[in-house]
Chain A
Amino acid sequence: MSQATCSVCTGTLVQTSPSTWECRTPDCVGGVQRFTCGFCRAPSFSLRKRSCINPDCRTHGLVREPCPTCNNFSVVTLDGISFCINRGCPAVAGSIGTCPICQTKSLIRTARYTVCVKSTCATLLKPVAFTSITTSPKPVAAPDKPAALAQKVTDRIAKPAASASPDPPSGNAAPDRTPAGPNGTATSKSDEAKPSTQTADDLDPWGMTRGIDLATIPQGPSASPSSPVPPPAAPVPPQTSPVPPIIAPAPPLLPPVPESAPASLATVPAPPVPVEPAPAGWGRPVVLPDQPPAPWPPVTPAQSVVSPAPSPAAPVVDQVASPRPADRLPDAPAPPPPGIAPAPPATPDPSAPEKPDLAAELRRAATASDIEHAWEFLLRTVLANDEQELAPIVLVFGLAGSGKSTYLTMLGEILTHGAGKYHFPYPGVAVRSLHVDTLVDEHLGPATPAELRARLRRRIRDLCFDFAEKNYNEFLVNGAWVPATVRETGGEAAHSFFLLSELIQGGAVLGRIVTIETSGEDFQEVLRRLGTTRNADELESPLHRVLYRLVDAATGIAVLLDPGSHDNDQQYSGLLRIIKEEIEPRAAHALAKTVDARLAAGVKAGAAATEPGATATFAAAVLDETERKRREELAARERRALAEQLREAQSSLAATASSHQALAAFAARHGPFMAEIEQLARTSVPELAAQADSLFAEHGRNAGSWIRFYQALLKHLANREAFEKILDLRVEVAMGRSREAGGLVKRILDEQGLPDTGQITEQFLARWKGRPTGRRFERLRHLALVVTKSDRHPIVYPPSDYPKFKLPMCWTHLAALEAYLGLLGGGMRYYNATAIGYAVQRGHQYGPGPGNSFTPVNIVEPLLDVLLAEAV
């Protein structure tokens, strides 16, 4: 009998028949009995959960009930319609058509939509309404069946591990347990990924209560110590007032409020700033070797790579408080709040050898491997500037056979020769040699022991003038490919090493290319563990730990795809899913900041968002659907608040004497409130204005008149009908702002050319003003999919279509990922690349032609596009 590993408990699965398996763990959440899933072909369909429990399966979590006709677990419910997805089932035999995407006869037509059930199709189980595939005009969505609902179902399928399973947990299943990853290691959805506590923003995602209970809300940009939180401000008055306010003395008592924006928003920086700012500090002048290096802050041993891992309970880095926290060294001390002077560096003795701490630490860390030493050294020296900020790191990532070594060789060759030999559209950009010995002298001092120096030397090589030059002259120019990198087995030879290069432009460091040359098998292992391991120290191999940290620290990742491999989709879909989930909160937060900024500047939602056609978009649909709920919540809160404010105002007014001092004291406390309800009352009770006019005409504009007017106003509001009217108006004003913000979401996405996937809108709604909680890929802003060997394998053109046709599982994550990276100031790029342009058949194999016939395409672009984007 065959055995396999349970996706949930990592226990043993024993095959009991060709299609059935049993989990040997008695209390396994997935139940004992399993079937082979028809979609992922893994023994992961749980009879207990009636769904596939493989997190990488595209139907993960989708409940499949038994079909009475074909007797398979194949009846699913999508958008309220249940149907059998077994193409062989007689019940659906008459409603199957050809899918326009995968060209397979797998399109099932239901009452309202069609859906493809081919496991490899990019649109698997995504309901497609008839309106979108026919030309006849039909209503976009009936009110009771909004597009949002269908999208939610689709999203649930598309991001199986991110969303909770739709079916309730059965038996002793723990609702927060997550199925195991591909390696069988059980994981749990930690609080890092999802906020576990309900914040004020969760209750009030639109921030309508910010003027009331700011103290409970996570601090945004306006809440930093340098810009103190303003006192609770009055709710927004109506933007236009047809009649001048009756209460003349009130305005001087009110804080200056920008029109159409609440006071709390007035402190948000001015728009438009749709993306996070580019990193600063890497355009600094080149440090010449004869210049003394800057004092080096001491490294905290407990946080070093060569020492025990950082505590998982480390505080979450707040993107808002520090504009570029992700660009800081992981172990570097957090910057002091603005306005507070930073602590002096701990290198006061100029006679002492410079940076002795790092050298000593590297020497002391006897248990760490060479490769970890090298990483630590690079992290603390080459990659960090004087402010302990990390340089942009672009990692070249590729599985075995993807052509990494050849790619890196040509990359170094092009960087070395530049426009003199190749196409190099980066004027002024040059490469500077980085010798390990020079770096050691510069950063550790000339007295560095030879043994440590040698260990670093064997693990750090110059990309251009060492690695690439040697490989180019030894192999490529002689018609041979660069040999595949040998996997390290612990012997003396160092087959894995860092490749380093420094790009300069106009005398300043543009960026440093740091990547690692290692076997594709190592990348594959790390790729497999990325989804299930939340701490690099859990990995056994030092090389894998370093690779893991490098992936986590990368600003950009260039993923090399071998078009001849059939495993790409399976291998990378997990990585893309994890990245998507991890950066989702950051992206939503970045969007919220932009919306905030625009609202503060009084930028209205664009016409595009409010045009009739625009209302059919998913963003609008989600907003409509949630508006009712939000309105109810808001009305309940406002009712309590209004009643309380009225009571307080009445009691204060009752104790107020008819004097200017007493009136001023009353206005200081209740002025904004009274001004607001006066304006609201004007629109709802026209006779009130007449009463006020006659009052002031009779008694003059003195304190007594004002007090009498206030009494009349409050008395009027004591009437239930008037109270409800004012409450409605007040809620309406607040909801107007909400709608405006919702329109802005759509507009910002439109402006940046980002797809409105629905997920970003949902994330935005859920996390607006929330704190970004993602802890991994904190610096990641760029992702490049580089399809290599395009001279030997049929390409897909344009390359952005490659995932659609060749990576259907990855494709389900890419639209959202593209939007997220765009919101974070980066983006997603696609390239068809070739290192040499054309490989000629020689005997039974293909090889490079003469050196000067090479036409490398898209070799430097994936990296330099990132570095330049970061440098701008």
Chain B
Amino acid sequence: MIRPEDFVEIPAGPFLLGMDYPDVAEPLRRLDQARCLGLGAVLAGTPGRWVDLPAYAIMPRMVTNGEYQEFWNARHPGDPTLALVDDPEIWEYVWSLHPLDQVRVPSPEAGLVLTESYAGCTSALDALVRSHAYEAQRQLLGHHLPPSEPGFDGLSRAVVRTYAVLRRGLARSIWRDEPLLDPGQIESLAGVSRDEVLQELGRVVVAIQERLPPGTAKKVPLLIVLDRLRIGLEAGDGIHLSAAEIFRPLFWADAAPRPSSTRSVGSLFSDAVKWSDLPVVGVSLYESAAFAAWLRISLGQPVLLANEAEYEKAFGWSLDGGELTAARKHIFPWQGRSPHDFNQWFSKDGSSIATFEARAKAYHKLLDDTARQIDGRSLHQGLGFGWQWTRERFDDRERKYIRFEHAGCLRRQVAGRTVFEYRDCTDQGCAFFAVRGAPYQLGGPGTVTRRFALYPLRGYAECGLRCVIGAAGEV
């Protein structure tokens, strides 16, 4: 169980967001040049900007499978027969935090960029279902059909009907009141038996599998969800489904701790790291935000996903005091304790993180070696253990932190430096969300300044989450 006292406190104050290559410590620059690491290329997108942050406390490690499982199996406080994640309120809440309007999604299969509309969604679960329907259409048809379009034929009808069944089945988790099915969905579901639905579901699955390279089906989220839908329809009454079963983390075989992922399981006699101690991956932004919401209720603290600056300050800024100089900024969490660069720890010899996970001792040593020390406490898994969702959107129109150059950006002078007030990027025009940290396998070195952007309605095998307690979480 996560406790508030486990969180590592980071005091308020300005720090250097990003880093300019000339400010990198000389030994690291020499190493970079000698080994062609590409540090300059990695830092180029995030030049140094002094920003101000209020105090906050950050989780000492990424959220684990065990912790996430606790959330996913939690019962509703008002109705013990209901799983917490089947309560539409939690999904409405996270949707209100991070609403999506339109998303432009590339469709390499069709050579198109398609626009997905989430304007009518009332909860994150509804958006997740719609997102899967869009993807199935892209995969099978090469384009999108408006879900309300009546009169489909053949495969397109099967696709629409399959996702209409899914949406109807999750209705109790998506809407508080009555289902808001589209006229087309209502029409397509009229008088259809469970067997017919299962038959069409089978057609859709086979059609999608035929378009995939052999051996890849088990890793495709679309098929994983459809398979769970099949199991749900076969096991239950053929109508009602549980969000806990359908949208649990991608690589969990079921809600019980029996993962099907490549990550090691661990057992009583195994030397492998226990599955419950490994970071949870394969959860979407909304599922991550839902976890934070649950933690907020459980701990009674303003818990949120970390934002970009909070992550970077925790892992890259020296809190030892002193002047506001770039020398206090570290691009690796272990900088100052160890001269190594990212690849000296991660993916050095062509291995994968699984080699560490198979040996608990080596894994924990890696955790300790790559941790950041703050006041005698360790912040683990800052780099190399996976991307981490942030609550911020990624503005693809921005390069090199030009947001701080806007006149509207609040600033003040501190010790002769211009310090900007840091604000989360919440522009709804930006459909992607920023992730920080770095996976084990990455092109170029992982640094605490490095950013990437992910589509928020999917879980990824290399992305987990971490929460903070801070003023921004107070409602």
Contacts and interface: CB of A to CB of B under 8 A. Distances in A.
Given A853-B453, A858-B41, A805 B443 contact: no
Interface in B4-52: 21, 35-36, 38, 40-45
A841 B36 contact: no
Interface residues of B, number: 54
Interface string B40-80: 11111100000000000000000000000000000000000
A423 B212 contact: no
Contacts of A855: 38, 41-42, 44-45, 443-444, 450
Interface in A296-313: none
Contacts, number: 148
Interface in A466-512: 478-481
Contact of B108 (A481, A797, A840, A858): A481
Nearest to B106: A479
A481 B43 CA distance: 24
B210 to A, nearest CB: 12
B213 interface: yes
A853 B139 contact: no
Interface string B124-146: 00000000000100010000000
Nearest to B440: A794
B350 A799 contact: no
A421 interface: yes
B347 A797 contact: yes
A834 B442 CA distance: 9
B187 to A, nearest CB: 29
B342 to A, nearest CB: 9
A844 B109 CA distance: 11
Interface stretch (B236-244, B301-309, B393-401, B416-424): B393-401
A478 B115 CA distance: 12
Interface in B168-212: 212
B443 A797 contact: no
A791 B442 contact: yes
Interface stretch (B147-155, B159-167, B216-224): B216-224
B42 A837 contact: yes
Nearest to B31: A798
A799 B36 contact: yes
Q: Which of A419, A479, A791, A857 is the most central at the interface, judged by chain B CB atoms within 10 Å of its CB?
A: A857
Nearest to A843: B220
A834 B348 contact: no
B343 interface: yes
B41 A423 contact: yes
Contact of A794 (B221, B350, B394): B350
A842 B452 CA distance: 15
Contacts of B219: 841, 844
A38 interface: no
Given A423-B21, A479-B108, A796-B349, A856 B45 contact: no
Contacts of A831: 36
B441 interface: yes
Given A480-B108, A847-B108, A794 B352 contact: yes
Contacts of A251: none
A478 B36 contact: no
B38 A858 contact: yes
A559 to B, nearest CB: 15
Nearest to A830: B36
A850 interface: yes
Interface in A774-807: 789-800, 805-806
Interface in B394-413: 394-400
A795 B343 contact: yes
Nearest to A478: B106
A696 interface: no
A861 interface: yes
Given A423-B44, A797-B347, A829-B36, A852 B399 contact: yes
A847 B106 contact: yes
B443 A794 contact: no
Given A851-B396, A857-B38, A837 B442 contact: yes
Contact of B443 (A790, A845, A852): A790
A838 interface: yes
B338 interface: no
A790 B349 contact: no
Nearest to A425: B40
B113 interface: yes
Contacts of B376: none
A840 B41 contact: no
Contact of A841 (B42, B394, B460): B460
Given A791-B441, A834-B444, A838-B443, A852 B45 contact: yes
Contact of A790 (B396, B444, B454): B444
A422 interface: yes
A832 interface: yes
B350 A805 contact: yes
B432 interface: yes
A330 interface: no
Contact of A844 (B44, B113, B213, B454): B213
Contact of B396 (A789, A840, A844, A850): A850
A849 B452 contact: yes
A805 B349 contact: yes
Contacts of B352: 794
Given A480-B106, A829-B36, A858-B41, A795 B113 contact: no
A748 interface: no
Given A795-B350, A799-B36, A850 B394 contact: yes
Nearest to A421: B399
Contacts of B444: 790-791, 832, 834, 837, 855, 857-858
A836 interface: yes
B461 interface: yes
Given A423-B41, A841-B460, A798 B349 contact: no
Contacts of B455: 840, 842
Contacts of A837: 41-42, 442-444, 452
Nearest to A798: B35
B351 interface: yes
Interface in B368-395: 394-395
Contacts of A836: 443
A836 B38 CA distance: 12
B321 interface: no
A849 B452 CA distance: 8
Q: Which of B36, B40, B347, B455 is the most central at the interface, judged by chain A CB atoms within 10 Å of its CB?
A: B36
Given A856-B41, A858-B38, A797 B220 contact: no
Contacts of A857: 38, 41-42, 443-444
A853 B443 CA distance: 12
Contacts of B113: 478-479
B291 to A, nearest CB: 21
Interface string B442-475: 1110000011111100001100000000000000
A794 B221 CA distance: 24
Contacts of B348: 795-797
A799 B35 contact: yes
When A and B form their complex, which 10 residue pairs have the shortest distance between CB atoms, in order from nearest? A834-B443, A791-B443, A479-B106, A857-B38, A857-B444, A423-B44, A480-B108, A794-B350, A797-B343, A423-B41
28 contacts: A421-B399, A423-B40, A479-B106, A480-B108, A792-B443, A794-B351, A796-B349, A799-B36, A806-B350, A832-B38, A834-B444, A836-B443, A837-B444, A838-B439, A838-B442, A840-B455, A841-B219, A841-B461, A843-B220, A845-B108, A852-B395, A852-B396, A852-B398, A852-B399, A853-B45, A853-B394, A853-B452, A857-B444
Interface of B: 21, 35-36, 38, 40-45, 105-106, 108, 111, 113, 135, 139, 212-213, 216-217, 219-222, 343-344, 347-352, 394-400, 432, 439, 441-444, 450-455, 460-461
Given A423-B38, A855-B38, A857-B41, 18 more contacts: A479-B108, A480-B108, A790-B444, A794-B351, A794-B352, A796-B348, A796-B350, A797-B344, A805-B349, A837-B444, A843-B139, A847-B108, A849-B454, A851-B396, A852-B398, A852-B399, A853-B453, A855-B41
